Amino acid sequence: ATAEEEAEFAALAGPAEGPGPAAAAGVGGRSFELFGRMESKLAVDTHRENRFEDVIDWRNELRFGIDARFDPDTFLRLSLQAIYQFRSGFDRQYDWETNLFEAYLDRRQGGWSWRLGRQIVSWGRADAINPTDNLNPQDYREIVTIAHDDRKIPVTMVRGRRPLWGGDLDAVYIPFFEPNKFDIVGADFAFLGPGWLPPEWERVFVKLGERFHRRRITFGERSPFRVDEPERRLTNGELGVRWSSHWRRIDYSLSAFTTYSDWPVIRLDPSVLTRFDLSDRDTRRFLEQAEVSDLLRLRKIFSMRFPRQWIYGADAETVVGPYTLRGEVALTFDRPYYRDDLSPTGKPQLSYVIGGDRLLPFDVYTNVQLLQTIILRYDSDILSRRVRTGMTATLRRKFLEDRLYLQANTLYYFRDDDYFLNLQVSYDLADDLTVAAGVNLFQGKRTTSLTEAASIARFDNNDHYYTRLLYHF
C-alpha cells in the first residue's frame, strides 16, 4: 500500500502518538485525552428581498469528547455535538439541539482492523465533491456554507479493513438507514425557502410551524409530512466494499455500495393540489382562516420515500511534476428524477470529477476541478437536463508567517450560469484559535432550480456577510 493508505490504515485504530500532557491522563497503562472544537458564526444578509426571510443568523456549535486507549489494539472514542442557533427577520427563532456524535470502538484482531459504532467514513479522492462518497448523510441546513467534511453526520456502522491482493480492503455495513438532514420550509436555506411560495402558502407553513412549536420544519424531525423510511431491520442494511492499491505512481480505488437515496423522492397528489387553486377566492380564504386541524390534512399532498440504489465507483490520484491530479467516477442505478407531471422515475446516472492542484508563483495555492453528471436512458419528459456540467476552483495565499489566509472558493454550473462564491480572510490568533470574516454569494436562474437537485439558484436571495470564530482543544 502507499504511504497515504498505510497512514489511514494505522489511524483506524486511533492515534498512534500519545496524547499531549495538557489534555491527557494515564492510569495503569491506559491513556485518556479530551478534545473538542467550538465555532461561532454570525451572518447578516447583504439585503432583504422577502419579508419571510431571516436577516440575522447566529449559529454556535460545540463538539467535545474523550479518546481512550486501553492497549495497543483497543481504542474508544465518545463525543457529543450541541448546536444553538438564533435567527431574526420575519420573527425571532431560537433552535437548540444536542446529539451523540462519534461513538465507536476500534479493535485489531485476526489480521483485521475493526471499528464498531457511530462513525464517519470518507471514500474518494476529489476535493469536496465526491461521487463515490455516499456512506454518511449530510446536514444541508446551511448547504455549502459549511465545509464538506463538517456537514457529515456519523451513522452506526461496522467497518473492517485488512491487506488484500497487494492493497487494502475496506468493508462497511450500515444496519439502519439515516437520510440527509435539511429544512423543508421556515428557513432561508430550506427546500421551499422564502420567496418561493405565494404569501398565502407562506402563512400556511407559519401556522404549521406554530403547531409544532417552531416555524422551521426540518426533514427527519417531527413534522406534518408523511415520510416512508425503510424498515429498521438488519436485512434492510447498506453494504459497501472498497479496494485500494497502486500501480507505478498512481494510487487508485474501486468500490461498490448498495444503499438508499439520502434524498427523499417526493410524491405529489395532483388531485389534492387542484383543490388549492390560489386564483380561487374560497381557496385563498381557507388558507388565511384555516385552523391547524385543517392544515394537517395537507399531509395528503406529500409523501416521501427512499429508493434502493447501487453505486459503483473508481478514483485515482497521481503526481506529475508540480501537479497533483485526481479523478473520480460513479455509476448510480435508480437515481430518482421527476417527469413533467411531477411523478418520479429511476434512471442510471454517470457522475465524474477530474482536476488537480499545484502551487503557483508567489506561493498561491490553486485547485481546479471539472464535474459532470449525465442521465443515462434519458426520456424527453424528464424535467432535469440530461447533461449538467460545472467546475470548482480554489485560490489561497498565506501571509505573516502563515498566520493570515486569503481565500476564494467557487462552485459554478456553466449552462445555467449558477454559482456559489465564497471570499474569506482568516487569521490564526493562536495555534488553536482562528478568527475569520467573509462573504457568501449565490446566483442563478430561479426558473429551473426546483427541477435540478444541485441548483444554486434557489438560494440567490441569501447573499450574506459573516464573521467566524473557531477554537480547537
Polymer length in residues for the chain: 473
What was the pLDDT predicted at 93? 82
**Is 424 part of a structural domain of the chain?**
yes
CATH number at residue 30: 2.40.160.10
DSSP string, 194-255: TTSS-HHHHHHHHHHHHHTT-S-EETTSS-SSEEEPPP--GGG-EEEEEEEEEETTEEEEEE
What was the pLDDT predicted at 278? 46
d(CA 186, CA 190): 7
Q: Count up the domains in the chain and report the number.
A: 1
**Is 279 part of a structural domain of the chain?**
no
Instruction: Give per-residue pLDDT as tens, 292-306.
Output: 455 555 555 667 788
Alpha helices in 260-378 (DSSP H): 270-273, 281-289, 292-295
CA-based nearest residue to 315, from 241, 252, 369, 244: 252
What is the CB-side half-sphere exposure of residue 313 using CA atoms within 13 A? 34
Tell me which residue range forms the domain holding 428.
3-179+229-264+306-472
Residue 10 has pLDDT above 60, yes or no: no
**Is 275 part of a structural domain of the chain?**
no
Asked whether the beta carbons of 79 and 103 are under 8 A apart, the reply is yes
**Is 28 part of a structural domain of the chain?**
yes
Mean per-residue pLDDT for 148-162? 95
**Is 288 part of a structural domain of the chain?**
no
Task: Using pLDDT thresholds of 50, 70 and 90, give the confidence band for residue 265.
Answer: confident
**Is 329 part of a structural domain of the chain?**
yes
Mean per-residue pLDDT for 71-84? 95
DSSP letter for 339, please: B
Q: Which of 401-410, 424-433, 459-468 comes out lowest in average pLDDT? A: 459-468
Beta pairing, strands 323-338 & 308-320? antiparallel
Task: Using pLDDT thresholds of 50, 70 and 90, give the confidence band for residue 314.
Answer: very high
Single-letter residue type at 205: F
Residue 24 has pLDDT above 80, yes or no: no
Instruction: Give per-residue pLDDT as tens, 106-142.
Output: 999 989 999 999 999 999 999 989 999 999 999 988 8
Instruction: Give per-residue pLDDT as tens, 436-463.
Output: 999 999 987 655 545 555 567 778 778 9
Asked whether the beta carbons of 83 and 146 are under 8 A apart, the reply is no
**Is 389 part of a structural domain of the chain?**
yes
Asked whether the beta carbons of 199 and 284 are under 8 A apart, the reply is no
If residue 96 lies in a helix (H) or strand (E), which one and from where to where?
A: strand 92-109
- More reliable by pLDDT, 7 or 245: 245
d(CA 432, CA 470): 8
d(CA 441, CA 280): 38
Task: Using pLDDT thresholds of 50, 70 and 90, give the confidence band for residue 372.
Answer: very high
Asked whether the beta carbons of 120 and 319 are under 8 A apart, the reply is no
**Is 133 part of a structural domain of the chain?**
yes
Mean per-residue pLDDT for 341-367? 93
* Distances 473 to 26, 33, 42, 431, 433 between C-alpha atoms, Å: 18, 10, 21, 10, 9
- More reliable by pLDDT, 20 or 290: 290
What was the pLDDT predicted at 199? 58
Strand intervals (E) in 285-386: 302-305, 308-320, 323-338, 344-360, 364-375
State the cell numbers at 406: 486569503
